[in-house]
Amino acid sequence: MSGSFSISVLSVSFWSVLSIAMIIMGALFLDNCKVEPKVAVYLIVSGAFNILAFTILPLKRFAEIPIYVIEGVIGFFQFCWFIAGSVWVFTTYRENTGVCNDALLKFAFWILIFQYIAVVIVAVVCLCMCCCGCMALCSFGDSPTTDQNTEEQVTSTPNTA
């Protein structure tokens, strides 16, 4: 089993368990946040769409292009839902006067914080990979011309002996 496959399986497993926990917490406390009932709905929908995204991954073998389109639509929806959930959870968390269930609110709050951290880590890794790729292309692009120029200088130098 290769290392990248193991990491992928662990990552999907971790996010799947977290998504199931989001659905369970949202369902358990669906009516326990009178200030902002959308907090529980956010958890349920976000968890369900995460699981949906993971379940279509194996279908890429059979219909690659349509699955990429579906993944794009799901990803765009999740991004918009993430922003909406951030607004609902962070405003309610800041203004919580005990009307909203504390366990629900803290769970949603820390899920969002964890997701923000994951987004930053992925962005930094992608940026580093792009920078390394650009540096590699630049260094490989300069090498042949530098060697070629050196050879031309050596062959065109008059022999004084």
Mean pLDDT by runs of 10 across the 161 residues of the chain is 74 91 95 90 96 89 88 94 95 83 92 94 93 87 53 56 53
List Cβ<8 Å contacts ≥24 apart for 40-45: 40/104, 42/81, 42/84, 42/85, 42/88, 42/89, 42/108, 43/85, 43/104, 43/107, 43/108, 43/111, 45/81
pLDDT of amino acid 62: 86
Q: Give the C-alpha separation, 69 to 31, whole Å.
A: 35
Domain map (residue ranges) of the chain: 3-124
Q: Give the C-alpha separation, 101 to 33, whole Å.
A: 6
pLDDT of amino acid 5: 73
Q: Which amino acid is at 92?
A: T
| Length, in residues, of the chain | 161
Q: How far is CA 158 from CA 147, 148, 155, in A?
A: 19, 18, 8
The pTM (predicted TM-score) of the whole model is: 0.76
Closest CA to 39 of 116, 93, 115: 93
